[in-house]
Every structure is written in structure tokens, then in C-alpha cells.
Amino acid sequence: MIRRTVLACSVLVGTVVSVTTPAAHATSVGAGACVSTVDSASGVTSTLASDGACVVTFATAPTTPTTSTQYATRTWTVPAGITSVDVFVVGGGGGGGMSNGSTPTGGGGGGGGIVVATAFAVSAGASIAVWTGYGGQGGNCSPGSPGGNSKFGTLVAVGGGFGGGCGPAYGGPGGNAGGAHWGQPQGSSTQASSGTASNGSNITAYGNSGGKSYPHGVAGDAVSAGGGGGGGATQIGGDATQPGANSSSGVGGNGGEGLINNWRTGTDTVYGSGGGGQARSVQGAGGTNGGTASGTNSAGGAGIDAVDETGAGGGGGYRQGGGRSGDGGSGVVIVRYYPDTAPANSVAPSISGTTTNGQTLTGARGTWSGYPAPTYTYRWKRSSTVGGSYTNITGATSLSYTLTDDDIDMYLKFEVTATNSTSTTVELSAATARVADFVRPTTTTTSTTTTTIAAPATAAPALIVNVSAPTTTFVTIPSATESTAVPVIRSTATTTPTGRTPSATTTTSPSTTVPNAPTTTSVPAPQPATVVNGQAAMT
């Protein structure tokens, strides 16, 4: 691990990435599309993430914490074809402060400052300087040491501030500042002034102040209850409190919480948290991965170290019982970029639906990767045999397809074509079952013959008419001078059977027999008529 001491100074931030001459003994890390060239592979990894990104991590292996602002340095050569990267830069965390035997109020170390840049412009083939800051050493009856700066080219994350202790007792300035010791002010963040500030576009910087001790910044107060917590990337350090009536009930300030990022492993990790402040009664807890304070008025102890490679601050400590306060965690730089890769299919396309004429099938394109992200086109194909040659179905180019008569007894497949700037990849689904015809409805025609049988006509009852032969009856007319034979004029007889309306007039005629049950009607013999004035009539 390369170490060197740097003078405290302001860092000028520009828009051009610093370029250095590649090391003569370059080495490679990673594999496949994610191979990277560095001058030293110590603490450097390059992996392929699940979303197709290459992630290059520059970490600082656990070392003896620095007592000055130190860092490890390397160079990275931008791979061919890469013109922009995402960068996550975390400074080393500050060490916690240590108090003496009568004032157990060491301040927590501040977390390292953080800079996040997206779509940060780089030039393919350029070599970029990468620093990873060491964590600051915890104090021993003294303040802690600040963390070392980390950087990627012109992007600089300032190391965390030291926690206050006996001489000086104030919280140290830094990316995230340290918490204060008894009666002194907390530190303020210098991320924007000494490192890279947010630009309101693609660069965001994080830094906060430390927490106050109790009493809050009043020098020379007769009692001291607790030290302030170190600042975190997303939260200022907590203030120490005294909830009881005297200093023995003091509570140390908690460390501020850091920033979550998952680029390195795909799992959320918290970076840049502050360490907890030490107190007489209840110790301040560090933010996630930050150190917690230790020691009480009756039994002191060393502060707890922060987690390396997270840039968290160390916890404050108490001299009584020995040991020093907690060390800050080392910093880290994470670089992410997306190499151009051909579309690749990991889950094949598939078809759902019922393979019956008239039904609609739906295609699913499956799972694909590739950068830039592919675009997709679709096509349905059919064959007369499951293992035969499949031909395109005219016009069938969407995710769904409705089966027609032409598909009966055929097999279908769904084809997906994925295309990006690198190349084109085609993938087919498995074949469907044979397409069946739908059950067509059967029409049965029944011929119905309607026979109308007329009710038998009811014949009028047959008549048997007995007509006597005409006779001539002579009568004596008293007033006549001679006998005169007057023929009897018979009337015309009309006979109507009972219950029927006559449809004809029956005139006397010779006897006629109708073959039905006979009805006999007798015409009465003519009655004598009186003749008046020489005429006679029969009625």
C-alpha cells in the first residue's frame, strides 16, 4: 500500500479529468467485457453486475490508521469505447476523540465526505488518478486524526473531521465534521470548500457538521456530561444531552447517518456515517457502520472502530481504563460503466393460449440483456410438422396472433429479434401443439308435412218424397150451369231437414232414394177447396 503525507490545501475542481501517464507495469483486473487496466491491482476489483454494468472498486485494505491525511493511490485506464462513467467517492472517516479521567466527553469522529457523479465524461484510453483515503486514528487523551481524502480525477471527497478530545476539544472540520468535547463548538463541513461541491446537475456532494457537547459550546463550564456525535453524509451529528439534574446522567450524541449505495455488491451499504460521542451515563451510538463510544465514569474503555471501506467515523473514548478512541473507517472509490454488449437471451420466448382455430395466442419475449438496451421486433411462424421448417405468417408481427383456417393442423412458433448498436440476436419459442379446428355446429333439418283432414261433410238427411200421381176431382158448383171439371193445382212442396239451412228447393218429382238413413215425409192429400165465382184454388 502506497502512503504519503499531503499538506492541507484547497482542491481546485474543474470539468476536465486529470490524466497521468500509464504505469509501465500495468496489470489487468476483471474478465470479459469488464477487464480494466490499473497500475496496481492491490485492493482493486472489477465485476459484472446483474444489469450488465461493469463495477470497478478501489478499496483500501485494512491498515494501521493514519495519524495524518494519507491515502492509497492508483491509476485506471479508461476502457475502449467508454466515454462516460458513474462515480461514487467516499473519503476516509475521522477518528474519535479521547477525554481524560475527569471529563468523559470525547467527541465522535466525522464520516468521510461523499461525491456522487453520474454520466461523468471521460476519454477512452486516458489514465485517471484514483485516491482512497485512510481512516483517521482515534485519539488517546487527545482529539482523533482526520480521515484521508479520496478522489477520482477532479472529483474529491474530503476526509472526515476528528472528534474533539482533551486539547483541542472542538470538533474537527472535514467532509463530515467531528463532534465536540466538553465546552467547545462542534466542527463544520468543508466538503464544498475543500473538495467537490454539488453542481446542480450530475454531481452531488454530501457533508454535515458534528454534534455539540454538553454544555453546548460554553467554555469553562464546571461540569461536562457528554460529547457530540460525528456528522454523517445525510444527517448532522447528534448533540449530547443531560436529562437528569447532574452531569452523571449525561448522554452522548449519536453519529449522523450516512448515505446508502448498492453499486459495489448489489446490496445496500451505508457509507460516511458519523461516530458516537462519549458520555458519563449513556454512550452515543454511531450511525450505520460508524463507531460507538465507550467508557463510563466508573469504568472507561476504548471507542469502537468504524467499518473499513465505508468511510465512517470512529467512536469517542474515555481514558480511564486505557485504550484510545475508535478509528475511522477507510474510504472507497466505486466506478460504474456500461460496455457495449450484444443482446443476449437468458429466458427463451414463450407462447400462451389455446391452439384452436379462432383462438388468440400471446407471445412473451423472455429475458434479455445487452447495452445499449435492445429494441425488439416479433414474428409468428408455422410449419406442417413440429420439427419442420417454419415459415413467416404474413402480417403476424405483434405480440398476439389469432388462429385462422390456414393454421389448422399446423404448428406455430414465436420469434423475437433483439437489436442494439452492437448486433442483432434472434431467438425462437418452442413449438405449440397442433392447431385443431373448432367444433362446428351441426344443423339438422326436419321436414314436417302437415296433412289437413277435412271434417266429413254432413249430408243433409236424405228425403224420401212420395208423390201421388195427379188426380182430378170433380166438385159440384152450385151456381154453375153445367158441371165443370176444375183441375186441382198442387202447391210446390219444400222440405228442409231439421237443423240445417236449405241449400236448394226440392220440387216434387219421382221418388228418389238417398243412401243414408231414410226419412219419410208424407205429403197430405189435398183438401177440398171452396170455389168462388167460378174459380177454385187449393192452398
Within 10 angstroms of residue 14's Cβ, the number of other Cβ atoms is: 9
Question: Looking at the 3D structure of the chain, how many domains does it have?
Answer: 2
Domain boundary among 338, 359, 387: 338
What is the dihedral sign for C-alpha 96, 58, 121, 368? negative
Both 316 and 348 in one domain: the answer is no
Both 267 and 198 in one domain: the answer is yes
Retrieve residue 292's grid coordinates.
Answer: 460507538
Asked if residue 450 is part of any domain, the answer here is: no
Asked if residue 504 is part of any domain, the answer here is: no
Mean pLDDT, the chain, integer? 80
Both 376 and 324 in one domain: the answer is no
**C-alpha–C-alpha distance, residues 398 and 379, integer Å:** 7
Asked if residue 444 is part of any domain, the answer here is: no
**Secondary structure class of 323 (helix, strand, coil):** coil
Residue 317 host element (H or E): strand 317-318
**C-alpha–C-alpha distance, residues 426 and 480, integer Å:** 143
Instruction: Please give the residue range of the domain that contains residue 317.
Output: 1-338
**C-alpha–C-alpha distance, residues 80 and 490, integer Å:** 146
Retrieve residue 39's grid coordinates.
Answer: 497500475
Both 283 and 162 in one domain: the answer is yes
Please choose, from the candidates 274, 265, 197, the residue with its C-alpha nearest in 3D space to the C-alpha of residue 229.
274
Both 399 and 324 in one domain: the answer is no
**C-alpha–C-alpha distance, residues 372 and 339, integer Å:** 8
Rounded to the nearest 5 degrees, what angle is found at the Cα of 258, between the Cα atoms of 178 and 218? 25
Asked if residue 141 is part of any domain, the answer here is: yes
Task: Report, as ranges of residue numbers, the positions in the chain whose pLDDT lies below 50.
Answer: 1-24, 218-222, 297-300, 463, 465, 467, 477, 480-486, 488-523, 528-539
Alpha-carbon distances of 454 from 216, 451, 458, rounded to whole Å = 124, 9, 11
Both 50 and 30 in one domain: the answer is yes
Both 147 and 278 in one domain: the answer is yes
Domain boundary among 292, 323, 338: 338
Asked if residue 277 lies in contact with residue 107, where contact means CB atoms within 8 angstroms, the answer is yes
What residues have CB less than 8 Å from 524, skipping those under 6 apart? none
Is the bond into 339 cis (omega within 30 degrees of 0)?
no
Both 231 and 251 in one domain: the answer is yes
Both 332 and 393 in one domain: the answer is no
Asked if residue 489 is part of any domain, the answer here is: no
CATH number of the domain encompassing residue 348: 2.60.40.2700
Retrieve residue 203's grid coordinates.
Answer: 454531481
Both 405 and 286 in one domain: the answer is no
**C-alpha–C-alpha distance, residues 77 and 124, integer Å:** 8
Transcribe 90-108 into DSSP letters: EPPPPPPPEE-TT---PPP
State phi, psi for 282 to the nearest 5 degrees: -115, 125
pLDDT of residue 278: 87
pLDDT of residue 123: 97
**C-alpha–C-alpha distance, residues 416 and 402, integer Å:** 18
Both 315 and 332 in one domain: the answer is yes
pLDDT of residue 404: 97
Asked if residue 468 is part of any domain, the answer here is: no
Asked if residue 442 is part of any domain, the answer here is: no
State how beta strands 155-157 and 150-152 pair: antiparallel
Rounded to the nearest 5 degrees, what angle is found at the Cα of 352, between the Cα atoms of 347 and 354? 155
Q: What is the pLDDT of residues 4-32, one digit of tens each?
A: 223 233 332 333 333 333 444 789 999 98
Please choose, from the candidates 266, 92, 115, the residue with its C-alpha nearest in 3D space to the C-alpha of residue 172.
92
Domain boundary among 397, 428, 459: 428
Both 30 and 164 in one domain: the answer is yes
Asked if residue 518 is part of any domain, the answer here is: no
Transcribe 340-397 into DSSP letters: -EEEEEEE--EEES--BTT-EEEEE--EEEEESPPEEEEEEEEESSTTS--EEPTT--
